[in-house]
């Protein structure tokens, strides 16, 4: 041993004592320079012994030398051990636990700083960590054990950085896992502590550790150590398991898939006859329960939780937990955590909830576990946390459990009440109206959960009537709640009742009506909200505002005095909109609100802070904005909003309704389309008929013209001698008028011929009387004007007909156009039908379709009108045609008649000519000269004469 | 569920070759068209039957991205089987096989069964690596080979099952030391877990948590006087 060392260790100092720093420097020099292993080993050992007292100095001066030793003296486990111990001493902070309690905190703080500072220095070169990891592979106890402790200390000081280095060093994590397999318990146990530090909030490392069979190893150790009866090692194993599973879904999945849930079940086989509960056992069981909860936590993915809940039921774990629940002599802490665990194992799982409902307490007579639990909830003497746990359990039992909700509410209904046993309903009502505000609150919240998202139960609960002790008439549960509310009880009680009432009447217009039906309720709420109350009344005010808001929002206007509109007017008048909204905001602004919103479990630092329920915070979140809007809305907007709201409320319902409506309208449109097309075809037909008739008319005209022409020719050829040609030509100027003209002409000719005939008769008689005097033709044109008028009428008739036809044509074109527009409209609508998923779209489409239908209807109407018009026109056209035809027929007959007459006349004429001729001949024969006659003759006549002459010659 | 053997697999290969899709197809019979980049490692499991025996496969799907390489290396050692995957439509993923194989051989135990998989066989039109090339590579390095499609599920079952068969045969041949769990093989629990180890227990005085809550409460013994106001319901 060196003199320094001797001097240090307590020999009489001869001269000035060397300072710690000096001593350490000397030791460091020896570590660095001595060629003898033994020398170096002694120096390191000396450093080790100084390292606690002179932590600062050793750390600052010796660290590099010590690390050097780790690298160079690998073969000597003793020196390695000393070096590692020394490093551990300077880095570890919490070694001096037995230090005076009185020592001030500043000193501890300083120590912490030192540890961090030296840790940083050590890991500056990541190779040092790798080096340490390699040393851990050394089997020698002197190396491995201090190595584990050093690494643990490093991790405690600079966890994240160390984790990063270990993660990237090849097989770093895997090698540390080997520590659990070390047969030396100390190393294994310290290895557990190391792994706890290593796995802290690092998912990647947690996964590797799990991959390296950590679950298997840890569960084995727990079993070997006696499960919950085991010592602190069990506790350490459980803590490590918690690290591996908390918030690590991949590992949870692995744990479940590895059938490790089944291996947890025996942990909870703690019999009734248990002799005693050590503190360690309480701790172990507590952690075991937490592990179960990690697997079924409400924050996990629903699918993962559901499958774990299923295995827990299938392997009997849930049943085992329920046994603990009903056992005697279980520490409050364990009982509470067991209740919380059962809660999460059954939460939202129908099978597990059903099982839970069937559990009976082993009492005489047996009682449902639910009833036994509720008894504790409303019992003032039970610990607060236990009562909270019971409430949580009850909530989890009812979560997404309509059946369970129905069963609980049923215990309150007149028809199902069993007077002989205590029921859940009785306990809840009892709690609701007991003198203990905590019971009031718990019972109110519990009852609210029986109504959550369950309209049927909200309505059922309205039937509940309570008998009052005073022999007065029964009072409804709803009424009783509001009575208590107005009696000004504790804040906690009123908050509980208000939450219950809000949950109860929200989304349930019938309950709103019931509530409003009590004449005192609205004035009470108004008064509560409008008053200027102290800080602690603010939450109650906010809840009153919420309740009133729900009365507006879910109001079906069935009460004359309290319609939406009236309530809003009341608010405006008595409270003021802005003030109302501000009061409503008190709820979410409350300091405890966001805390409750975080997770379903009711956890409160103290009983007074038990104010908000998690599910209720969801309701507030849902309603606050809506109510604010509803109150601000004008009645106009309100009406619109109302419609939108209704639509939203009956979402599914309305979608199908709309779909049906659309389908209906589609068929309507289809019908109208068909109507339109049949009408257009009718229209076309009419058009065709009109054209046909027009052409018929034309034909008739043509025929008539031909006839007329023929007639004209006949007349010309046969009557030229009697009729003035120019006169005939003048009458032929108008095309249509020709008919009449012709007739006229014929008549004239007829008259002329008759006149001629008369003349000739006269002549004959004259001739006969031998005073032949040929009378001059003096034709009277008396009826000429009359005929012209008739002609004009005919002409205008034809003109109007043409105009009508033109009109029909344009109308038809218009019809066709509309037709096209209609069919394109209809096509659009049916296309849109396909994606009628969204409400808004549906609505807009609906209005569009309604408008389209309206338009179509109008069009159809105008179409049928114009069709009727057309038909009328057609009828008139047809009749015109008929008239024309009759006229034409008449004319034709007339023409025929005139022709016949003419023929007759011609015959007569010919006869008379013959007679005249023979008479002339007789006269000639008699020796009379008959030359006057020649003046009357035309050229034709001359020809005739000539011919006659020729004939005569021939004869 | 009880099983005769439990095998641990890892799936390795370049990013985007379809490792996660293969696992998803195998465990859930689903296909995921979007590339959901794997961060670190993900776990999946399924039961299969070989030779009439139930075999549980525990599969770790690793991230192909280079930055996760050091993490994924930790999984080689404890695996009994590895699926080494490349993408037949991306030659570079085939070219990287040598690196992957070296890495695997270096960090795994020597008996690990490696199945080479050419994935995305449904994308024939975009093929860049011929099937023969895959076969040749497998032959050269002593691997089993298959082309698969995680999209159509073609050969996916076979890839996982054939690997298991190979491991199973090696067990029959006595190649694997089945008592060393570090090999990625575990014999199933053929006897039910007993609670016999539950002893009265050594009560360690040591306690780290400092919890001392021996106050005992029971829900039951409150029957008689539970201090609760019971409401009578009115008969209607
Ligand atoms: N057509 C086709 N596409 C596939 C197939 N397998 C995977 N893909 C697609 O390829 C992409 C990548 O697939 P992943 O399984 O996420 O790739 P990975 O190998 O897990 O990638 P890393 O997680 O980054 O390592 C995705 O878009 C898949 O849809 C396949 O067999 N056929
Ligand atoms: Mg992936």
Q: What is the dihedral of CA A476, A482, A483, A489, to 10 degrees?
A: 140
Q: What per-residue confidence (pLDDT) applies to A114? A: 86
Cβ of B20 less than 6 Å from ligand 1: yes
Strand residue runs (E) in chain B: 5-13, 41-50, 53-62, 81-87, 113-119, 144-147, 185-187, 216-217
Q: Who among A211, A216, A414 is closest to B233 (CB)?
A: A414
Instruction: For the beta carbon of residue B236, count every other beta carbon within 10 angstroms.
Output: 10
Examine the pLDDT at A830 and tell me if it is beyond 60: no
Ligand nearest the Cα of residue B153 is: 1
Examine the pLDDT at A951 and tell me if it is beyond 50: no
CA-based nearest residue to B80, from B150, B178, B2, B146: B178
**How many percent of chain A have pLDDT more than 90?**
49
B182 Cα to chain A: minimum distance (Å): 7
**How many percent of chain A have pLDDT more than 70?**
77
Residues contacting residue A15 through CB under 8 Å, at least 6 positions apart: none
Helix or strand holding residue A368 (H, E): strand A367-368
Average pLDDT over residues A144-172: 92
| Least confident stretch, A52-61, A511-520, A673-682, A829-838 | A829-838
Å from CA of B18 to ligand 2 middle = 7
CB of A359 closer than 8 Å to CB of A373: no
Distance separating alpha carbons of residues A330 and B180, to the nearest angstrom:
41
At residue A20 the predicted structure's pLDDT band, cuts being 50, 70 and 90, is: confident
Instruction: For the beta carbon of residue B185, count every other beta carbon within 10 angstroms.
Output: 25
Examine the pLDDT at A562 and tell me if it is beyond 80: yes
Q: What is the dihedral of CA A592, A596, A598, A599, to 10 degrees?
A: 150
Q: Who among B78, B218, B229 is closest to A430 (CB)?
A: B229
Å from CA of B72 to ligand 1 middle = 18
Beta bridge partners of B187: B5
**CA quadruple B7, B13, B15, B16: dihedral sign:** negative
Residues of chain B in contact with residue A242, where contact means CB-CB under 8 angstroms, are none
Average pLDDT over residues A454-474: 87
CB of A50 closer than 8 Å to CB of A83: no
> What are the C-alpha distances in Å from A606 to residues A45, A383, A385, A438, B214?
54, 11, 9, 11, 21
Examine the pLDDT at B123 and tell me if it is beyond 50: yes
The encoded tokens of residue B56 equal 């549980």
Please answer yes or no on whether A211 and B212 come within 8 Å at the CB atom.
no
Q: What is the DSSP letter of B6?
A: E
Distance separating alpha carbons of residues A796 and A570, to the nearest angstrom:
77
Examine the pLDDT at A886 and tell me if it is beyond 70: yes
The per-residue pLDDT of chain A, averaged, comes to 82
Residues of chain B in contact with residue A167, where contact means CB-CB under 8 angstroms, are 70-71
B56 Cα to chain A: minimum distance (Å): 9
Q: Indicate the pairing of strand B113-119 with strand B81-87.
A: parallel
Examine the pLDDT at A747 and tell me if it is beyond 80: no
Please answer yes or no on whether A379 and B227 come within 8 Å at the CB atom.
yes
Higher pLDDT, A742 or A550: A550
Examine the pLDDT at A793 and tell me if it is beyond 80: no
A28 Cα to chain B: minimum distance (Å): 37
Distance separating alpha carbons of residues A517 and A45, to the nearest angstrom:
89
Instruction: For the beta carbon of residue A383, count every other beta carbon within 10 angstroms.
Output: 16
For A631-662, write each residue's pLDDT tens digit: 887 667 767 766 777 777 777 776 777 777 87
CB of B217 closer than 8 Å to CB of A382: yes
Q: What per-residue confidence (pLDDT) applies to A765? A: 65
Shortest-distance Cα residue to atom 29 of ligand 1: B33
Please answer yes or no on whether B230 and A266 come within 8 Å at the CB atom.
no
CA-based nearest residue to A519, from A560, A462, A547, A576: A560
Helix or strand holding residue A579 (H, E): helix A577-584
At residue A610 the predicted structure's pLDDT band, cuts being 50, 70 and 90, is: very high
At residue A277 the predicted structure's pLDDT band, cuts being 50, 70 and 90, is: confident
Higher pLDDT, A41 or A19: A41
CB of B2 closer than 8 Å to CB of B53: no
Residues of chain A in contact with residue B77, where contact means CB-CB under 8 angstroms, are 171, 174
| Least confident stretch, A230-234, A368-372, A427-431, A881-885 | A881-885
Shortest-distance Cα residue to atom 30 of ligand 1: B120
CA-based nearest residue to A167, from A200, A131, A208, A196: A208
Q: What per-residue confidence (pLDDT) applies to A842? A: 63
For A421-443, write each residue's pLDDT tens digit: 789 998 999 999 999 999 999 99
Å from CA of A941 to ligand 2 middle = 127
Å from CA of B163 to ligand 1 middle = 21
Please answer yes or no on whether A208 and B74 come within 8 Å at the CB atom.
yes
Q: Is A379 left (phi over 0), alpha (psi -120 to 50) or beta?
A: beta
Ligand 1 atom at minimum distance from B33 CA: 29
Cβ of B37 less than 6 Å from ligand 1: yes
Examine the pLDDT at B202 and tell me if it is beyond 50: no
* A–B CB contacts, 8 A cutoff, strictly below: 214
Cβ of B123 less than 6 Å from ligand 1: yes
The encoded tokens of residue A654 equal 């309305």
**Burial readout A659-677 (b: 16 or more C-beta within 10 A, e: otherwise):** eeebeebbebbeebbebbe
Q: Indicate the pairing of strand A360-361 with strand A367-368.
A: antiparallel
CB of A295 closer than 8 Å to CB of A261: yes
Q: Who among A226, A253, A464 is closest to B197 (CB)?
A: A226
Q: What is the DSSP letter of A23?
A: H
| Least confident stretch, A90-94, A324-328, A892-896 | A892-896
Distance separating alpha carbons of residues A941 and A933, to the nearest angstrom:
11
| Least confident stretch, A65-69, A272-276, A757-761, A892-896 | A272-276
Helix (H, G, I), strand (E, B) or coil at A597: helix
Helix or strand holding residue A532 (H, E): none
Average pLDDT over residues A245-255: 95
Q: Who among B1, B197, B217 is closest to A383 (CB)?
A: B217
Distance separating alpha carbons of residues A610 and A442, to the nearest angstrom:
9
Residues of chain B in contact with residue A221, where contact means CB-CB under 8 angstroms, are none
Q: What is the DSSP letter of B126?
A: G
Q: What per-residue confidence (pLDDT) applies to A930? A: 64
pTM: 0.69
Residues contacting residue A102 through CB under 8 Å, at least 6 positions apart: none
Instruction: For the beta carbon of residue A939, count every other beta carbon within 10 angstroms.
Output: 11
| Least confident stretch, A367-381, A780-794, B43-57 | A780-794
Distance separating alpha carbons of residues B192 and B185, to the nearest angstrom:
20
Give φ, ψ of A489 to 5 degrees.
Answer: -85, -165
Please answer yes or no on whether B78 and A212 come within 8 Å at the CB atom.
yes
Q: What is the largest CA-CA distance in chain B?
A: 89
Helices first, then strands: H and E counts in chain A: 45, 5
The per-residue pLDDT of chain B, averaged, comes to 83
Ligand 1 atom at minimum distance from B17 CA: 19
Give φ, ψ of B11 to 5 degrees.
Answer: -115, 125
Residues of chain A in contact with residue B208, where contact means CB-CB under 8 angstroms, are 232, 235, 283
Distance separating alpha carbons of residues A233 and A727, to the nearest angstrom:
145
Examine the pLDDT at A946 and tell me if it is beyond 50: no
CB of A308 closer than 8 Å to CB of A256: yes
Q: Who among B8, B43, B215 is closest to A253 (CB)?
A: B43
Higher pLDDT, A109 or A219: A219
Ligand nearest the Cα of residue B148 is: 1
Q: What per-residue confidence (pLDDT) applies to A609? A: 93
Higher pLDDT, A574 or A724: A574
Q: What is the dihedral of CA A587, A592, A598, A602, to 10 degrees?
A: -110
């Amino acid at each position: 041993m060196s003199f320094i060392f001797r001097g240090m260790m307590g020999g009489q100092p001869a001269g000035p004592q060397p300072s710690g720093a000096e001593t350490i420097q000397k030791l460091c020099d020896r570590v660095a320079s001595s060629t003898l292993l033994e020398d170096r080993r002694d120096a390191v050992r000396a450093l080790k012994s100084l390292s606690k007292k002179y932590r600062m100095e050793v750390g600052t001066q010796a660290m590099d030398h010590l690390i050097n030793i780790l690298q160079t003296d690998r073969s000597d486990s003793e020196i390695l051990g000393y070096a590692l111990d020394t490093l551990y001493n300077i880095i570890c902070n919490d070694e001096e636990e037995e230090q005076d309690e009185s020592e001030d905190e500043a000193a501890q703080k300083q120590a912490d700083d030192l540890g961090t500072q030296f840790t940083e220095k050590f890991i500056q070169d990541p190779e040092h960590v790798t080096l340490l990891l390699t040393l851990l592979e050394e089997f020698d106890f002197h190396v491995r054990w201090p190595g584990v402790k050093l690494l643990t200390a490093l991790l405690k000081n600079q966890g994240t950085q160390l984790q990063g280095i270990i993660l990237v060093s090849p097989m770093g994590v895997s090698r540390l896992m080997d520590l659990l397999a070390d047969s030396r318990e100390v190393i294994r146990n310290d290895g557990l502590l190391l792994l706890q530090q290593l796995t802290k909030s690092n998912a990647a490392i947690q996964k590797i550790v799990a991959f390296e069979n950590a679950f298997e190893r840890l569960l084995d150790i727990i079993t070997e150590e006696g499960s919950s009866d085991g010592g602190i090692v069990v506790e350490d194993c459980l803590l490590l398991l918690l690290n591996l599973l908390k918030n690590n879904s991949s590992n949870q999945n692995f744990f479940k898939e590895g059938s490790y849930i089944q291996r947890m079940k025996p942990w909870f086989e703690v019999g009734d006859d248990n002799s005693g509960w050590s503190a360690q056992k309480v701790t172990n069981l507590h952690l075991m329960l937490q592990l179960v909860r990690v697997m079924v936590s409400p924050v996990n993915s629903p699918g993962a939780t559901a499958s774990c809940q299923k295995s827990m039921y299938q392997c009997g774990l849930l049943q085992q937990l329920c046994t603990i629940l009903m056992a005697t002599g279980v520490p409050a802490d364990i009982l509470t955590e067991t209740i919380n665990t059962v809660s999460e194992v059954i939460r939202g799982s129908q099978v597990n909830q059903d099982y839970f409902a069937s559990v009976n307490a082993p009492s005489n007579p047996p009682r449902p576990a639910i009833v036994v639990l509720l008894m504790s909830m409303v019992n003032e003497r039970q610990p607060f946390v236990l009562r909270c746990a019971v409430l949580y359990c009850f909530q989890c039992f009812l979560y997404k459990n309509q059946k369970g909700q129905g069963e609980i509410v049923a215990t309150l209904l007149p028809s199902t009440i069993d007077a002989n046993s205590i029921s859940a309903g009785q306990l809840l009502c009892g709690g609701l109206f007991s003198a203990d505000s905590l019971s009031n609150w718990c019972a109110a919240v519990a009852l609210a959960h029986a109504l959550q998202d369950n309209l049927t139960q909200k309505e059922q609960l309205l039937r509940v009537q309570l008998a009052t002790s005073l022999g007065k008439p029964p009072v409804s549960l709803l009424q009783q709640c509001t009575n208590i509310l107005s009696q000004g009880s504790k804040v906690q009680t009123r908050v509980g009742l208000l939450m219950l009432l809000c949950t109860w009447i929200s989304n349930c217009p019938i309950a709103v009506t019931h509530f409003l039906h009590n004449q005192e309720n609205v004035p009470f709420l108004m008064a509560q909200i409008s008053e200027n109350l102290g800080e602690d009344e603010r939450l109650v005010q906010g809840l009153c505002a919420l309740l009133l808001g729900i009365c507006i929002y879910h109001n079906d206007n069935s009460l004359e005095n309290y319609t939406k509109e009236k309530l809003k007017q009341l608010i405006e008048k008595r409270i003021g909109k802005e003030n109302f909204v501000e009061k409503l905001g008190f709820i979410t602004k409350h300091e405890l609100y966001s805390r409750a919103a975080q997770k379903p479990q009711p956890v409160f630092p103290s009983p007074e802070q038990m104010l908000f329920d998690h599910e209720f915070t969801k309701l507030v979140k849902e309603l606050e904005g809506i109510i604010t809007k509803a109150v601000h809305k004008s009645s106009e907007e309100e009406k619109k909003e109302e419609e939108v709201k209704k639509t939203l409320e009956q979402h599914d319902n309305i979608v199908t309704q709309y779909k049906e409506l659309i389908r209906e309208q589609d068929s309507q449109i289809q019908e109208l389309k068909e109507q339109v097309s049949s009408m257009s075809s009718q229209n076309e037909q009419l058009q065709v008929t009109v054209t046909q008739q027009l052409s018929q008319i034309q034909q008739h005209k043509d025929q008539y013209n031909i006839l007329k022409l023929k007639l004209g020719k006949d007349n010309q050829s046969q009557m030229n001698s009697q009729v003035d040609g120019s006169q005939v030509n003048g009458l032929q100027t108008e095309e249509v008028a020709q008919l009449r003209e012709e007739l006229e002409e014929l008549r004239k000719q007829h008259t002329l011929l008759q006149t001629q005939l008369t003349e000739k008769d006269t002549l004959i008689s004259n001739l006969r009387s031998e005073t032949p005097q040929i009378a001059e033709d003096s034709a009277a044109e008396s009826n000429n004007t009359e005929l012209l008028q008739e002609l004009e009428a005919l002409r205008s008739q034809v003109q109007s007909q043409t105009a009508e036809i033109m009109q029909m044509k344009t109308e038809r074109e218009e019809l066709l156009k509309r037709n096209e527009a209609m069919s394109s409209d209809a096509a659009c609508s049916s296309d849109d039908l396909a994606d009628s998923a969204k409400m808004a779209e549906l609505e807009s489409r609906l209005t569009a379709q309604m408008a389209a239908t309206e338009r179509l209807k109008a069009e159809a109407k105008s179409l049928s009108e114009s069709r009727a018009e057309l038909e009328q026109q057609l009828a008139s056209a047809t009749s015109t045609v008929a008239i024309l035809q009759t006229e034409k027929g008449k004319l034709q007959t007339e023409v025929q008649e005139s022709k016949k007459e003419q023929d007759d006349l011609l015959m007569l004429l010919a006869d008379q000519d013959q007679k005249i001729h023979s008479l002339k001949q007789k006269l000639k024969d008699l020796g009379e000269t008959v030359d006057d006659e020649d003046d009357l003759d035309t050229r034709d006549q001359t020809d005739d004469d000539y011919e006659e002459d020729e004939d005569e010659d021939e004869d | 569920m009880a099983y005769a053997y439990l095998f641990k697999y890892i799936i390795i290969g370049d990013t985007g070759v379809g490792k996660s899709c293969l696992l998803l197809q195998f465990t859930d019979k689903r296909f995921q068209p979007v590339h959901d980049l794997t961060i670190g490692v993900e776990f999946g499991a399924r039961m299969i039957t070989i030779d009439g025996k139930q075999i549980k496969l525990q599969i770790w799907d690793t991230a192909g991205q280079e930055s996760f390489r050091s993490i994924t290396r930790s999984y080689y050692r404890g695996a009994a089987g590895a699926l080494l995957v490349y993408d037949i439509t991306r030659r570079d993923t085939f070219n990287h096989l040598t690196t992957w194989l070296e890495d695997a051989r270096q960090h795994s135990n020597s008996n690990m069964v490696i199945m080479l998989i050419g994935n995305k066989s449904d994308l024939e039109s975009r093929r860049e690596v011929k099937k023969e090339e895959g076969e040749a590579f497998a032959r050269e390095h002593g691997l089993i080979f298959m082309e698969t499609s995680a999209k159509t599920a073609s050969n996916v079952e076979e890839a996982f099952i054939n690997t298991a068969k190979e491991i199973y045969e090696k067990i029959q041949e006595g190649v694997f030391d089945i008592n060393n769990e570090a090999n990625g093989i575990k014999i199933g629990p053929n006897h039910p877990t007993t609670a016999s180890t539950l002893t009265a227990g050594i009560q360690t005085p040591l306690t780290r948590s400092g919890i001392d809550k021996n106050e005992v409460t029971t829900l039951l013994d409150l029957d008689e006087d539970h201090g609760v106001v019971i409401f009578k319901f009115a008969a209607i």
